[in-house]
């Protein structure tokens, strides 16, 4: 059984100027423990696809299965954790209380809750900020709290909608590094929406490249960088090759038939 | 601690004392008649004389204002919760609230006095509740509608029930709005409790004391009771502020 099975999904929205097809006949399988990025220009429906998997919206046609269940059942069973572009923390709750929220909502007893939250805060490296409030944290720290919250119930699937989109480049790279570590520790499958090519390549096993109007899957690029992904990887030729491959898929046709070095130079320029 | 006291409390107190001196001086030098404006010292003398009566009148009015404030605020918050959740109720209530907002106490007080009888405390309390209802309802409803889309998505992802959404997101998020309404309402409660007594009913509160003193040409005494009303209003306002501080610290 795969983690997510999207088959023939179409999503249309009724707008004032008529029907807009956000997603057109999307089929995609994500295996357990796999890290898959969705990348594409604005309006390609990548966030919409994520929301459909999360059952925050329902597809117009087609079906979505999460761990063999309907998306709705998976949501009701809390089979996934979710992280949005804005951290979405409740400003009147401390870091601890924010991470605890899903556990409290689902009736986990207080001692068990506290123990789990202590673990999670340690996992995201915020132990000394356990009693701080969101407004006292930087954007990167807030997003780490959101990630900890998403992990609270040990989901085997994590949905991330441009979680680092609002962060500066340095923080962003550090967060990607942390995410690699966290994913290795939890073994969860991840669907990661982004519009940063290097980010997608650095994190993913596969990068799904999408095109807009109507939203379609243009290509799926496998990234074979292995599991040990450290800072050094960002300067390696294999990483640049991946960046080039995604870039070319994104632009529709090979921009160059190019040598690695040429592709590498382009990869560095991107973003 | 002493520093904040010096910076924040001392200046307004000093200003008040200077104003009182200026008032006293003005009345004495310009020989203003007491029926126009009595001197602060004359008011103070009356204050000492009527203190027991003032105290009981303040308690009576304060009790009416408090009962009306609490009842009106609870009803307003409950209706705002319903209106924020159920569209039909929202559409039904909106015009009624607009109508209540313009109900003059002057018109309502005699009617309610007739309805409940002249010896009942209820008319004044109902009036206070009606006056309080509007600002609390409008502000609470606005607050309840401020939910961020990301929080709504999050709670849906958690398969949270409607009540959980209200309790953990909507209500805490709207607390600042509710307290804005309550701050306005707390002063309105005292004002309307005092004014309602001008139009008949039980004569044991500040309002009736002010009118009877004035009609006996005992102007300094009337002012002494006005002073009581001012203090009562300030107490209500301050207590609401204090509760707001407490609530926003641990919501």
The whole-number pLDDT of residue A259 equals 42
Residue B80: how many other CB atoms lie within 10 Å: 27
Q: Are A117 and A86 in contact (CB under 8 A)?
A: no
Chain B residues whose beta carbon lies within 8 Å of the beta carbon of residue A82? 153-154, 157
Chain A residues whose beta carbon lies within 8 Å of the beta carbon of residue B154? 82, 84, 88
Residues of chain A scoring pLDDT < 70: 227, 252-271
A106 touches chain B (CB under 8 A): yes
Q: A86–B164: do the CB atoms touch at under 8 Å?
A: no
Q: Which of A90, A102, A106 sits opposite B169 (nearest CB)?
A: A90
Residue of B nearest to A55 (CA): B157
Our CA-based measurement puts residue B154 at a distance from the nearest CA of chain A, in whole angstroms, of: 8
A66 touches chain B (CB under 8 A): no
CA dist A95 to A145, A149, A185, B106, B164, Å? 7, 9, 22, 52, 19
| Selection from B63, B61, B102 nearest residue B211 by Cα | B61
3-class SS at A257? coil
Q: Which residues contact B215 (CB under 8 A, 6 or more apart)?
A: none
Interface of A with B in 14-43 (CB under 8 A): none
Q: B156–A84: do the CB atoms touch at under 8 Å?
A: no
For B127, the token pair is 């009036």
Quick: pLDDT tens for B212-236.
887 887 788 888 888 888 889 999 9
Q: B159–A78: do the CB atoms touch at under 8 Å?
A: yes
Pairwise CA distance, residues A128 & A145, whole Å = 13
Residue of B nearest to A89 (CA): B151
A69 touches chain B (CB under 8 A): no
Pick from B146, B154, B179 the residue to mutate for testing the A interface (most A CBs within 10 Å).
Answer: B154
Our CA-based measurement puts residue A231 at a distance from the nearest CA of chain B, in whole angstroms, of: 32
A52 touches chain B (CB under 8 A): no
Pick from A90, A97, A106, A153 the residue to mutate for testing the B interface (most B CBs within 10 Å).
Answer: A90
Q: Which of A54, A88, A105 sits opposite B160 (nearest CB)?
A: A105
The whole-number pLDDT of residue A254 equals 57
The whole-number pLDDT of residue A257 equals 46
* Interface A-B: count of C-beta contacts within 8 A: 43
ipTM: 0.80
Residues of chain B scoring pLDDT < 50: none
Q: Are B169 and B192 in contact (CB under 8 A)?
A: no
CA dist B228 to A21, A93, B54, B210, Å? 69, 41, 7, 10
For A139, the token pair is 């954007």
Our CA-based measurement puts residue B148 at a distance from the nearest CA of chain A, in whole angstroms, of: 8
| Selection from A112, A191, A101 nearest residue A148 by Cα | A101
The whole-number pLDDT of residue A253 equals 63
For A232, the token pair is 């050094």
Pairwise CA distance, residues B112 & A258, whole Å = 90
Chain A residues whose beta carbon lies within 8 Å of the beta carbon of residue B179? none
Q: Is the peptide bond before A214 cis (omega within 30 degrees of 0)?
A: yes
For A40, the token pair is 């594409």
Q: A92–B157: do the CB atoms touch at under 8 Å?
A: no
The whole-number pLDDT of residue B249 equals 67
The three-state DSSP-derived secondary structure of B14-36 is HHHHHHHHHHHHHHHHCCCCCCC
Q: Which of A51, A86, A92 sits opposite B172 (nearest CB)?
A: A92
């Amino acid at each position: 059984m795969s983690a997510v099975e999207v088959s023939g999904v179409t999503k249309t929205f009724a707008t004032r100027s008529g029907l807009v097809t956000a997603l057109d006949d999307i089929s995609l399988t994500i295996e357990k423990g796999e890290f898959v990025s969705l990348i594409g220009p604005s309006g390609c429906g990548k966030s919409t696809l994520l929301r459909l998997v999360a059952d925050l919206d329902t597809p117009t046609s087609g079906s979505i299965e999460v761990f063999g269940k309907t998306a709705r059942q998976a949501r009701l069973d809390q089979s996934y954790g979710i992280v949005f572009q804005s951290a979405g923390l409740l400003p009147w709750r401390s870091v601890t209380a924010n991470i605890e929220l899903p556990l409290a909502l689902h009736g986990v007893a207080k001692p068990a809750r506290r123990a789990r939250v202590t673990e999670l805060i340690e996992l995201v490296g915020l132990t000394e900020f356990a009693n701080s409030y969101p407004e006292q944290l930087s954007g990167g720290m807030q997003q780490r709290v959101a990630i900890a919250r998403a992990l609270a119930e040990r989901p085997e699937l994590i949905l991330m909608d441009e979680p680092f989109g609002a962060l500066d480049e340095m923080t962003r790279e550090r967060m990607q590094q942390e995410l690699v570590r966290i994913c290795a520790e939890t073994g969860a499958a991840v669907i990661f929406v982004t519009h940063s090519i290097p980010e997608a390549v650095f994190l993913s096993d596969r990068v799904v490249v999408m095109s807009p109007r109507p939203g379609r899957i243009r290509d799926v690029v496998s990234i074979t960088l292995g599991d040990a992904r450290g800072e050094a990887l960002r300067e390696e030729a294999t990483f640049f090759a991946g960046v080039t491959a995604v870039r070319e898929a994104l632009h529709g046709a090979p921009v160059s038939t190019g040598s690695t070095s040429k592709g590498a130079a382009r990869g560095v320029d991107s973003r | 601690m002493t520093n904040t006291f010096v910076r924040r409390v001392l200046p307004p107190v000093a200003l008040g004392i200077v104003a009182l001196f200026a008032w006293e001086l003005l009345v004495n030098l310009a020989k203003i008649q007491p029926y126009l404006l009595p001197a602060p010292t004359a008011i103070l003398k009356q204050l000492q004389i009527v203190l027991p009566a003032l105290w009981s009148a303040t308690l009576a009015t304060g009790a009416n204002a408090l009962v009306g404030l609490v009842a009106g605020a609870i009803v307003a918050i409950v209706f705002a919760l319903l209106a924020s959740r159920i569209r039909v109720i929202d559409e039904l209530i909106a015009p009624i609230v607009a109508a209540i907002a313009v109900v003059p106490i002057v018109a309502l007080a005699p009617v309610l006095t007739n309805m409940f009888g002249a010896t009942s405390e209820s008319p004044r309390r109902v009036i206070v509740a009606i006056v309080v209802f509007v600002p609390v309802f409008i502000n609470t409803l606005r607050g309840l509608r401020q939910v961020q889309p990301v929080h709504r998505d999050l709670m849906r992802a958690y398969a949270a029930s409607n009540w959980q959404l209200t309790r953990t997101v909507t209500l805490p998020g709207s607390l600042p709005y509710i307290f804005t309404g309550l701050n306005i309402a707390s002063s309105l409660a005292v004002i309307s409790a005092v004014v309602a007594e001008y139009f008949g009913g039980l004569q044991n509160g500040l309002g009736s004391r002010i009118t009877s003193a004035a009609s006996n040409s005992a102007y300094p005494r009337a002012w002494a009771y006005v002073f009581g009303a001012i203090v009562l209003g300030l107490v209500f306002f301050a207590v609401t502020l204090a509760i707001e501080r407490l609530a926003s610290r641990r919501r």
